[in-house]
Structure 1
């Protein structure tokens, strides 16, 4: 009887061992198969707001990617031309009523800086203090009375000099002077060179100090740097000859105004636009 039990035990162990190995193999295979199943990770865009205020370090493409929209659509909704420059404090529309960007498919289209048409000059009275338009959203100061000033008409815009003070440096890209520099005393008035909308009024660019940027029609932007005081805010609509700031020395070592004009994002000589410069 004892011998039969020992024989049965040995036979039972020999039978169970392959079964256990097979079960373990199947278990490992099943576990490995489950573990190797690819994991799908998704990234969701943030809900797009109606308006977004540009912050330091933002780019148009980065803002569009953050909210899952096309940067060309955002540029078209906000009338931002190539190369799609935006400014700190600028308010951008993110949502639109199905506005689609218009993309040219022609392979032989060449874009270049528009040529400046001939300058036509005339002397006309500019807005006085009594009829100067209000500054949105809240007027900080009223424009002082201006009698007459020589103006020029370029690209359908009426241009005036931003200051009547003497010029101390003219446009010279080789010397990194990308505009005209006017001398003056602290607090001297600075005027908008043409009708437009203020798109920036802040001191985020330290080398320019208190800086005002005005966007005009036909792709023109004018810049007014080193002010001691800014009399307009971002979003305000201004008229040619309206006082927008007071001269100062913010961001530089002397009192002056640095005035620049850009066409399609490229600096051009303001003397080509302003008569008598």
Structure 2
């Protein structure tokens, strides 16, 4: 890990420096240490949480030692051989029945890394494909109850603002399994699902993969 001793930064805040390794993501690092993503991003001056670099040193406030961060990969070599994105309509099923109220992209106000689907509160949210639940919690500011699933070929899907998460971390789910219920937790003005598809840490337009 190199020289990553406990030290003070800022206003004398104790913590450690974590050096980013291949395939580690910002959310997984913060989850491992049990710290708030927005707070860590603010302290480290990170503007885009999806773009951290291998070798980058991230200060983790309050931590007393450097922890091992799992990357949840079975075949890293195979993933590195296939980094190009092939868009395929119907690759994933719709996560919920509802109406798309916000699309992917950047407008004059903000960047939107997914789509918002308005639906009745309590409606079932389904896994869009088989995979492993790598996050099921509510520690990421603004997202409320959040689920992240890892799929084959380094795809991740993200389901936010859930009324409740009905699956736990490390659970293997099948395509179409109910994983959550639509809600309005976090920064949500009404019941809806915020849904993202990522290849590694790169956000992709979900509409290019849904039927």
- Structure 1, unmatched stretches of 5+, are 1-42, 46-57, 65-70, 76-80, 96-100, 103-110, 120-151, 154-158
- Structure 2, unmatched stretches of 5+, are 6-14, 34-66, 71-75
Given that residues 88 and 200 in structure 1 are in contact (C-alpha distance below 8 angstroms), is that contact kept between their aligned partners in structure 2? no
More helix per residue: 1 or 2?
A: 1
Cα deviation digits, residues 169-212 of structure 1 (max 9, x gap): 11122332211111112111100111111111111112100100
Compare CA radii of gyration and give the structure with the larger one: 1
More strand per residue: 1 or 2?
A: 2
- Trace 1:1-277 onto structure 2 (pairs within 5 A): 62=18, 72=21, 81=23, 86=28, 88-89=30-31, 114-119=84-89, 152-153=90-91, 159-174=92-107, 175-251=110-186, 252-275=188-211
CA distance, structure 1, for counterparts of residue 26 and residue 135 of structure 2: 15
Aligned residues: 157
Return the TM-score normalized by structure 1.
0.49
CA gap 1:44/1:254 in 2 versus in 1, 3 angstroms: closer
Structure with the larger RCO, 1 or 2 (CA within 8 Å, 6+ apart): 2
Return the TM-score normalized by structure 2.
0.63
